[in-house]
Structure 1
Amino acid sequence: MKKKVIVGMSGGVDSSVAACLLAEEGFEVIGVTLHTWEKLPKTNNDSEEQNALSPTHEHEEAKQIAAAKGFLHFTIDFREAFQREVIDYFKSEYLLGRTPNPCVICNTKIKWQALLQEAKRHGAAYIATGHYARVAKQEGRFRLLQGCDASKDQSYVLWGLSQEILEKARFPLADYTKDEVRALARKYDLPVAEKDESQEICFIPDNNYERFLKDALPNLAEKIAGGKILDTNQNELGKHRGYPFYTIGQRRGLGISTPAPVYVTDIHAEDNTIVVGSKDDLLHSGLIATDLNWIAFSKLQEPFQAEAKIRYKDTAEPCVVTPLETGCVQVTFETPKRAITPGQAVVFYSGEELLGGGFIQKAIQ
C-alpha cells in the first residue's frame, strides 16, 4: 500500500511540482489548499493582473492541477483562524510601532498545523510543501537546514516549526534550483510553469500596507496623522502621516527636507512620534529577542556563537546568543547591524543549519 502524503498546494509552481515529485516517488498524494482570506472589493485602480490574485482563483488552479494529475484535493476553510492569528496580529503589531512578519506567524500557527491536522485525519505518514529547505534527523532530533539553492532558501520563515511537525515534514524541492523547478513544471505539463512568483504578503496583493491598514482600521489615519517627526536631539522637523505607515530604515516618503539624507531610526507609538537620523544612527551592536523556538536543541542554557539574520534577505552575521532570566535572549553582533527592526524575526544559524529563532523586541547598543 502506498504511503499517503498531505501536500499544501497554493496553486503556484513550487507546490505543484512538489506534489508531482512525490507522486513520482510512489506516494499517494492528497492536495490541501487553505482558504485563509477574502480579496478586498474590486477598485477602479485594480489591474487585470491584480484582480487575478484572488484566493478563489488560486484555489481553482490547485484543484485543477490535482484533478489533472489524479490527486485527491481538498480546500479547507481556515479564514477565522487566519484572521485571528495572522491578520489581527499584523494590524496590532503596526499599532504598537513594530514591523511584523506575517509569513512566519502563518507557517508557525496556521499552515503547518493545518497540514498536520489533515495528515492525522487521512492517516498520512508525511506532510509536504514547496518550500526550499531541508530536514534531517541528527542525535535524536529533527533538524532544519537551508535549501541547496541559497538564492531561494526559505528556512528563515520556518524557524517556528515543532519537532512533531518536522518529524513528518518533507521538502521535495530541497535539492533543486528555481530554474530546475520550472523545467520540471514544463516536463509535467503544468499550466503554472511560467507563473510569476508572488513577492507580496498574500492578503495584501497590491503590496500597499498603508492602504490595507487604513481600510482595515477605519478612522485610523485621522486619529494619528500629524504626529511629530523628531531628529535624534528631539528637534521637530515636520509632521508624519501616522506612525504605523513607517518602518525602521525608511528613507523615502518622509515628507521633510533635510540637508543630508535621514532615515527612520525609532517609532514611538505611545506618543505618536517617529525619530529620524543618519545612516550611522541605524547601527546597533545587538538586540533582545523573545518568543523563541529552538530546533537544534530543546532549551538554551548557556551562551553560544552563531550567525544570525534579522530579515528574510539578510546576510547571516556572527554573533553571541546569551539566555536571559526573563526567557528572552540577548544577541550581540561581532559587527554592528543596520536597521534592527522590532517585530521582525531574528533567526540563528550554524553554517547551513537553522538552530532556532525569535522575534526582535528591541535593538540595543
Structure 2
Amino acid sequence: MKKRVLMAMSGGIDSTVAAMLLQEQGYELVGVTYRTFDTISRGCMEKEKGCCSVDSLFEAQRMADDLGFEHHILDIRQEFKETVIHNFIDEYLHGRTPNPCVICNSTIKWGKLLETADEFGCNAIATGHYARIGRQNERYFLQKGVDEAKDQTYFLWKLSQENLARTLFPLGELTKPEVRAIALKHGYEKLSKKSESQEICFIPDNDYRVFLNQQVDDFQGKYGPGDFVDTQGNILGRHKGFPNYTIGQRKGLGIALGHPMFVVAIHPEENKVVLGTKEELQGQSCYVSDINLMKYARIPEGLTVTAKIRYRNAGRQASLFHEGDKLRVVFQETVDSITPGQSAVFYEGQDVVGGGIID
C-alpha cells in the first residue's frame, strides 16, 4: 500500500518539483493550497513569487491536475487574520519588528496541514522548503538544506516534534539550480525560469507602513509624530510615529544630522525613536523568549552555537545561558541590529538546536 502524503502546493516551482519527486518515490499525493488573504500578492518572504495570491491557487490546482493527483483549496482567511496578521500589527504597535513567516509556518501551515492530513487520511505532510530533518536521542530536529543560499530553516524553528515527525522535505538535498533542471526535464520550461520574491505575502508593495495605515483605526492619530532623541536623551528632531521605524534603519529617517545615524532603540510608551552611531547600534548580548527546542530536550548551560538573528545572516558564535524561562545569548563579538521581535535561531553545524523571539 502506498504511503499517502498531503502535499502543500504553492503553485511555484519548489512545491511542484517536490511533488514530482515524491511521486517518483512511489508516494500517493493529495494536494492542498490555502487561501489566506484577499490580495493579489507578489510572494512570500521565503517562497516563490505568488505563493499566497489568488492566482497561485489556480496555478497550484493546474499543477496537481497535470501531475495526476487530487487537489483541494481551503479557505483559512479568518485563522490567518487572527494569528499572522494580528501578530504582525501588534508587534509593530509595540515597537518591535515581527517575522510573519515564522508565525505562519508554525500556526497556519503546519498547524492546518496536520489537521488536514488527518482529515484526508494522510500519514505525512510535505512542502517545498529547502531543509532537512535529522533524528538523535529520540528527538527530531531541522538540518540546513544542502543549498546554503536557499536554506529555510531560519523560518521553521517553531516546528514541534510532532510537526517534524510527520514532515517530508523532498528538496532538502538539492540546490536551486538542480530543482530548476528537474522542472525543465519534466517539460515545465516556464516554471523552471520563474523568478522569486523576498516580499511578505500580504504586503505586495513591500511597504508595511501603508498596510498598518490601512488596517489600524486612526493609525496616524494614535501613532503620530514624536521625538527623535540621541542615546543621551537629547532631542534631535521629529519623527512620523514610532511604528514607522525599525532597528538598524538609516534611510528614510527624514532628518539630516551631517553624519550617518541609525535607529538603535524604540520606546513606544514615550513615542520616542532613539538614533545613534554605527557603534551604538552594536551589542553583544540579548534575551530570547518563546523558546522552542529541537536537538536537545534542554540546552546544556553555556552551549556554544552559531546564532542567526536575521535570515540573510551567516550567524555569529555565541553561548547560551538559562535565565528563568528565557535564554541569554552572549555573542563572542559585537553584532549589529539586535532587533526585538525578530527570531534568533541556534545552530550546531548543520543542526538546528532551537530558536526564540528576541526581547
| TM-score, normalised by the number of residues in structure 1 | 0.93
Structure 1 counterpart of 2:182, from 173, 181, 184: 184
1:46: which partner in 2? none
Select between 135-144 and 92-101 the one with higher mean Cα deviation.
135-144
| Match for residue 99 of structure 1 among 84, 91, 97 | 97
Cα distance, 1:53 vs structure 2 = 8.0
Secondary structure in structure 1 of the residue aligned to 2:286: strand
- Counterpart code for 2:337: A
Deviation at 1:192, TM superposition (A): 2.6
1:230 is matched with which residue?
Answer: 229
The residue type equivalent to 2:185 in the other structure is K
For the structure 1 residues 53 and 114, does the alpha-carbon distance in structure 2 shift closer, same or farther, using more than 3 Å as the test? closer
2:14 is equivalent to residue 14 of structure 1: yes
The answer to whether the Cα contact below 8 Å between 2:12 and 2:50 also exists between their aligned partners in 1 is no
Cα distance change, pair 183–298 in 1 and its aligned pair in 2 (3 A): same
Task: For residue 189 of structure 1, report the CA deviation from its aligned partner.
Answer: 2.4
For residue 212 of structure 1, what is the amino acid of its counterpart? F
1:46-65 correspondence runs (5 A): 55-65=53-63
Amino acid at match of 1:308: A
For residues 240-265 of structure 1, the C-alpha deviation after alignment (integer angstroms, 9 at most, x for no partner) is 11111110000001111112100000
Partner residue, 1:336: 334
User: Counterpart of 2:241 in structure 1: which amino acid?
Assistant: G
Matches within 5 A, 1:26-175: 26-39=26-39, 55-175=53-173
Please give the per-residue CA displacement for 1:204-227, whole angstroms capped at 9, x wherever unaligned.
Answer: 111011111101113212332220
Distance 2:134 2:296 in 1: 14
The residue that corresponds to 1:5 in the other structure is: 5
**TM superposition shift of 1:302:** 2.7
Q: Which residue pairs with 1:45 in the alignment?
A: none
Q: Is the 8 A contact 1:341 1:360 kept in 2?
A: yes
Query: Kindly tell me: are residues 241 and 40 of structure 1, through their superposed partners in 2, closer, same or farther at Cα, counting changes over 3 Å?
Result: farther
**Gaps (5+ residues) in structure 1?**
42-50
Q: What are the superposed Cα offsets for residues 285-320 of structure 1, whole Å, 9 maximum, x if unpaired? A: 100000000001223363311110001111111111
| Letter paired with 2:238 | K
Q: Counterparts of 1:22 and 1:288 in 2: how far apart (Å)?
A: 41
- 8 Å CA contact 1:146–1:155 kept in 2: the answer is yes
Once residues 57 and 278 of structure 1 are traced to their aligned partners in structure 2, the CA distance between those partners, rounded to angstroms, is: 45
**For residue 116 of structure 2, what is the amino acid of its counterpart?**
E
| TM-superposed deviation, 1:24 | 1.1
Superposed counterparts of 1:250-289, under 5 Å: 250-289=249-288
CA separation in 2, counterparts of 1:315 and 1:52?
27
Deviations, residues 141-182 of structure 1 (Å, cap 9, x unaligned): 112100001110000111101111111111100111111111
SS at match of 1:18: helix
Identity of aligned residues (%): 45
Return the alpha-carbon distance in structure 1 between the equivalents of residues 4 and 358 of structure 2. Answer: 38
Report the AA paired with residue 338 of structure 2: I
Which residue is equivalent to 1:296?
Answer: 295
Distance 2:117 2:40 in 1: 31
Q: Over the residues paired in the alignment, what is the CA RMSD in angstroms?
A: 1.6
Task: For 2:298 and 2:77, locate their aligned partners in 1 and report how far apart those are by CA, in whole Å.
Answer: 33
Q: C-alpha distance in 2, partners of 1:115/1:54?
A: 15
Q: Distance in 2 between matches of 1:333 and 1:174?
A: 29
Distance apart, 1:128 and its partner CA: 0.7
Amino acid at match of 1:9: M
Partner secondary structure for residue 271 of structure 1? coil
Q: Say whether the 8 Å CA contact 1:38–1:54 is kept in structure 2.
A: no
Partner of 2:22, secondary structure, is: helix
Structure 2 counterpart of 1:85, one-letter code: T
Deviations 1:41-97 (A, max 9, x none): 9xxxxxxxxx98872100000000001110110111111111111001000000000
Q: Match of 2:128, SS?
A: coil
Separation (CA, whole Å) in 2 of partners of 1:208 and 1:245: 10
User: How many angstroms apart in 2 are the aligned matches of 1:185 and 1:176?
Assistant: 13
State the secondary structure of the residue aligned to 1:205.
coil
Counterpart of 2:192 in 1: which secondary structure?
coil
| Secondary structure at the counterpart of residue 16 of structure 1 | helix
Question: How many residues of Structure 1 are paired with residues of Structure 2 in the alignment?
Answer: 351
Residue identity matched to 2:22: L
Partner of 2:289, secondary structure, is strand
Cα pair 1:53 1:205 within 8 Å, conserved: no
CA-CA distance at 1:203 after TM superposition: 0.6
- Report how far residue 119 of structure 1 moved: 1.6
Distance in 1 (alpha carbons) for counterparts of 2:51 and 2:125: 26
